[in-house]
Amino acid sequence: LNSFVTRTNTCGELRSAHVGQRVTLFGWVQYQRQDLFLVLRDFQGLTQIIIPQDEAHSHVKKLLSSAPVESVVRVTGIVTPRPPGQENPKMPTGDIEVKAETAEILNSCKKLPFEIKDFIKKSESLRMQYRYLDLRSSHLQHNLRLRSRLVMRMREYLCNLHGFVDVETPTLFKRTPGGAKEFLVPSREVGKFYSLPQSPQQFKQLLMIGGLDRYFQVARCYRDEGSRPDRQPEFTQIDIEMSFVDQAGIQRLVEGLLQYSWPEERGSITTPFPSMTYEEALAEYGTDKPDTRFGMKIVDISDVLRQSDIQFLQNALSYPRGTIRAICVPQGVRYLKNKDLVSLKESAKSQFNQEIVEIIRRPDGSLKSLLTKFLGEKQQLDLIQALNLQVDDVVLLAAGEHKQVCSALGSLRLLSANLLEAAGLALRDPTAFHFLWVVDFPLFLPKAGNPTELESAHHPFTAPHPSDASLLYSDPTKVRSQHYDLVLNGNEVGGGSIRIHSAEQQRFVLEKVLKEDSEVLSHLLEALEFGAPPHGGIALGLDRLISLIVDAPSIRDVIAFPKSFRGRDLMANAPDYVTPEELELYHIQVSWPLEEKEAKKN
């Protein structure tokens, strides 16, 4: 840590063994007290500096006593033990102090917009405006250094142990059909634009066609997703592709990669990770990224209530995929208020257009609900048994179309867990890491805006499940894909697939199923005709993964210079205007809305 620099030690490494040594430290003034001592901070820690009081060192005293907080100083002095009883066990350097002999203020600090202390609350906009100051905080220093170590271990595993080739792919590319919106970059050719890639997807497939066999990259990716919470317009993924591999091979690789690179201070992770199909995840958790750290699974109670005389339940079961399902909120009577139950019902109604009925088990074992007067004693007992209902549990019941019901209950499951934990019931272990593979996704989904048309559930290069390959040409809505997602504690941290390596099949998917113009991908389609090997891969979302490892409230806390919620750089004020003369080079003219024209005039 001290090679190539003029310090002898960092501020975090001095111990009793260094007593008597003359040292030179560089750092920022953390605080100063009564002209007697100050605490010097650098990236590694804190050291207490004793300000000399004798006349011979009066210039040193004057300099250090007047140094503003967060000024950068150099101090040379002798390491001494702290007086008995003045040791600080909370500081790694708490047994020693440095008696200053000489000092220099290298750069004085002006009045700060906020204190550089983790316990001082700052607005996020202020933190991002002065990001270079926020980076001095111990938690951001920790997060970025842990990120660096983890990426280095990943490189070791992939490149040194398993022969992967680290290849940089271009960031100036062309539009890709489907997926998120892409950022456009103007060129000097009239009307022609580059696109910033959402991922290196096409390039890594082309590298496999080029015979590289195993590719890896810490890849910068770009998506113009507008104002979405906890998303970034530019983000980083660990991008991987292999030739002659199947789904199980990719999964084993990723499990080994994470196990090898996992930070020691976060415990160990067990492999292989459990696996669940998309249909199982939806049926039991109401989502394709289940948080498996706690129970409260969705239970199918259709058979229990099939013979009931309740009209809305019978109507629900008459749908093609009609179902009656429920979740049991443990100790809901004790931990949830009436307003919480109202809020849960309103959430299901507003987000999913789904009505919810509650059932409570009273202390005497009976059920309290609008439904109970329509249910016989046996049906009530069967319901208690099916849901394993205990006293004071609350049941949230929904009836209707399968996907809508499961999605609504899956959302309520998470909201209920948040409410229970806020009220003091421990459900999810914050130190636990539950990985899960979700597999067998549908290859296509109905388009959100036009359900009669199809879009790729993953991306258009995903291969169909071998068992469903023939359905691709007869009934594509029933085809499962060779797409797999990696989920951690209810968050998607990776996604990949086995790719289509047949030009004929790829052209059919683009033109006949997705109704896309295949000319945009003519280069890839042609490449697939020149002996493309079977291949597949995955991309791990590095920002999301690190944020979960360090338990950060936002991915912005693991990125050195993130964008704001609205995609702006508040520190440099980007994006920014450019002059008409600069735009002229790219044959672009801005058409201003009337109100902005007036604002610019003024």
Domain boundaries, the chain: 16-107, 141-276+434-557, 294-423
Domain 294-423 fold is Gyrase A; domain 2 (3.30.1360)
Q: What would the pLDDT profile of 408-450 be if each residue is shown by its tens digit?
A: 999 999 999 999 999 999 999 989 999 999 999 999 999 988 8
Rounded distance, CA 37 to CA 96, Å?
13
Q: How far apart are CA 272 and CA 437, in angstroms?
A: 10
Residue 597's pLDDT is 61
Residues 6+ apart with CB under 8 A from 274: 292, 435, 436, 437
**Mean pLDDT for the chain overall:** 95
State both tokens at 498: 């086995």
Distance in angstroms between the alpha carbons of the first and the last residue of the chain: 54
Share of the chain above pLDDT 70, in %: 98
C-alpha angle 34/36/41, rounded to 5°?
95
pLDDT bracket for residue 232 (50, 70, 90): very high
Pick the CATH number of 16-107 from 2.40.50.140, 2.30.110.10, 3.30.9.60, 2.60.120.260: 2.40.50.140
Task: Tell me which of 3.90.1300.10, 3.30.530.20, 3.40.1710.10, 3.30.930.10 is the CATH number of domain 141-276+434-557.
Answer: 3.30.930.10
Our CA angle for 435, 440, 443, nearest 5°, is 125
Q: What is the pLDDT of residue 599?
A: 63
Under 8 Å between Cβ of 139 and 557: yes
pLDDT category at 324 given cuts 50, 70, 90 is: very high
pTM recorded for the entire structure: 0.94
Half-sphere exposure of 213 (CA within 13 A, CB side): 5
Q: Which residues contact 41 (CB under 8 A, 6 or more apart)?
A: 11, 27, 28, 29, 30, 136
**Band of pLDDT at residue 2, cut at 50, 70 and 90:** very high
Question: With bands split at pLDDT 50, 70 and 90, how would you rate the model's confidence at 306?
Answer: very high
Average pLDDT (537-541) is 98
Cβ-proximal residues to 532 (8 Å cutoff; 6+ apart), any chain: 205, 208, 209, 501, 502, 503
